[in-house]
Amino acid sequence: MPRSRGAEKALESSGGGGGGGAGSDPGTWGDHGAAGPRSPGRRRAGGRAASRPPPASPSRGRARRPGSGSGQSPASDFQSRRPPLAELCGRGVLASAGCGLGGAGQARPEAEAGPPPPLPSARRRGGGGGGGGRGRGAAMSLLSRILPAFRVHYAGVLVILSQLYQRCRYGFSLPAFSSQHGSVAIVTGGLCGIGFSTAKHLAKLGMHVIIAGNDERQGQEAVKQIKEETLTSKDNENFYRLNVCGNPASMEFLFCDLASMKSIRQFVKEFKKKNYPLHVLINNAGIMMVPQRKTVDGFEEHFGVNYLGHFLLTNLLLDILKKTGCPNHNARVITVSSGTHYVGELNMDDLQSRHCYSPCGAYAQSKLALVLFSYQLQQLLAAEGSHVTANVVDPGVVNTALYKHVFWLTKLVKSFTYWFLFKTPDEGAITSIYAAVAPELEGVGGCYLYHEEIIKSSDVTYDEDLQRRLWAESCKMVGIPNMIDKVIST
């Protein structure tokens, strides 16, 4: 299997851990200079990661930056400092919270895929056997909805504790990056929350940012607000420089409804009319734990919006990304996933959750699918020799509007604790911004980033057969050619 340039060296320098990682969200390029000040005691990724995710490894250390010298490897150094909870998340132990139903974070085996076998008939006792069977079936159906909710909330608690440690030990601060003047970025879901903060900070670095969203009025308001905030920034000289369009660095909004394949194709058509390059694509938009409903194309909404919409959007923009990327300045595809992917299940025979719907289970499945997609995309790009990289980021547990559909008790707890336990949208956007512009990630792909560190994602995300099966099925769903088998040698 092909690897990106310098892959082996990066893996050695990272202590054997390199690509993939875990975190949670319950919910680029100008000239790259050296990254600015970092939080004390923290390391950044350096070198190049493998074009495909490396095998499962307990190491969560960063790859050593070129030129650094120390007798101790970064991985072992970080292992000696990290808290037990961070180690728990980094090793993917969240997957052990399966509690049945195929196991958390595991794809269902073929033999178990699809509807479960009929329950055995209960012994007849006074003619009541049939009712007992129906009762057992109802109990199993209820259990299949409760367990995914337990897993997702369990994962959320672990991540909250992890980021609480991070806040107390290091704090959350955006490093100082060099000007990204001349670069163009697309951010989906930039109307509010993490996407809004991501778009705002990229604009402050001098990028021309295009917000893709499904509300025209709210989109124009977001653009106006970001322009006002950026123009009034006293120390923001980057915003006054000219971008590729010959105008002052600016924001713009383009309508894109990720629940509609037609809308996505129209968005790409409108973007291509502008003849812009594309240095950064940030797949940020998403929904969380909504009631069971379908997109206009008939897909389950979590799967359709969170995953399938971004799958189509990315594939339709790949030609521009490939043209924009160059050897010393790769284009980057950043996909926002979540720590809930650790407890997600991917049932290839029921991707639309028709058999037994759980809002938490459907959300976790969509986030798991995003990680599998990103890893397979990196393999495709590396096999083609393209100057484009694909990485996954985990923003953590962030205080956004995504929680309007969660369980009432979760809302109640959040209302009293969000100010301390949850990240702000600006804090949640830090890892996305880091992945988009950090010079040490130049040419690095196939990684899972959490708190600006390369960590290990769930074991199932490294299943290359599952990656290909999901990719092939997704191509059929959105109606595009499958290039994987033609490009990647087996």
Categorize the per-residue pLDDT at 447 as very low, low, confident or very high, splitting at 50, 70 and 90: very high
Question: How far is residue 428's CA from residue 25's CA, in Å, rounded to a whole number?
Answer: 9
> 255 or 41, which is more confident?
255
Asked if pLDDT for residue 87 goes beyond 80, the answer is no
In order, the DSSP letters of 165-192 are HHHHHT---PPP----TT-EEEEETTTS
What local confidence, expressed as pLDDT, does residue 218 receive? 94
> What distance in Å separates the CA atoms of residue 473 and residue 278, rounded to the nearest whole number?
27
Q: What is the mean pLDDT of residues 360-369?
A: 93
User: Residue range 49-78: average pLDDT?
Assistant: 38
- pLDDT score at 54: 46
Fold category of 7-97+143-487 in CATH: Rossmann fold (3.40.50)
Q: What is the pLDDT of residue 431?
A: 95
pLDDT score at 351: 86
User: What are the structural domain ranges in the chain?
Assistant: 7-97+143-487
Q: How confident is the model at residue 79 (pLDDT cuts 50, 70, 90)?
A: very low
Identity of the highest mean pLDDT range in 9-18, 309-318, 389-398, 449-458: 309-318
Query: Which runs of E-coded beta strand occur in 362-461?
Result: 388-394, 448-450, 453-455
Q: What is the pLDDT of residues 165-203, one digit of tens each?
A: 777 887 777 788 888 988 999 999 999 999 999 999 999
What is the three-class DSSP state of 450? strand
Among 281-290, 352-361, 365-374, which stretch is predicted with the lowest mean pLDDT? 352-361
Q: Kindly report the average pLDDT of the chain as a whole number.
A: 74
**Other beta carbons less than 10 A from residue 407's beta carbon:** 14
Q: How far apart are CA 219 and CA 276, in angstroms?
A: 20
Q: What is the pLDDT of residue 448?
A: 98
Q: What was the pLDDT predicted at 402?
A: 59
- Residue 178 has a pLDDT of 86
Does the pTM surpass 0.75? The reply is no
The average pLDDT across 289-304 equals: 92
Distance CA 377, CA 281 (A): 13
Q: How far apart are CA 451 and CA 127, in angstroms?
A: 60
Q: What is the tens place of the pLDDT at every residue in 449-489?
A: 998 899 999 999 999 999 999 999 999 999 999 988 778 76
Q: Does residue 41 carry a pLDDT above 60?
A: no
Share of the chain above pLDDT 70, in %: 62
Q: How far lies 273's CA from each of 91, 266, 429, in Å? A: 45, 11, 29
What amino acid positions are annotated as catalytic residues? 363
Please tell me the least confidently modeled range out of 74-78, 242-246, 261-265, 412-416: 74-78
Confidence label for 434 from pLDDT (cuts 50, 70 and 90): very high
pLDDT of 305 strictly over 70: yes
Q: Note the pLDDT of residue 119.
A: 34
Q: pLDDT tens-digit profile of 387-417? A: 999 999 999 888 766 556 566 566 566 566 6
Three-class DSSP category at 386: coil
Instruction: State yes or no: pLDDT of 347 exceeds 50.
Output: yes
> Looking at per-residue confidence, does 231 or 238 come out higher?
231
Cβ-based neighbour number of residue 63 at 10 Å: 30
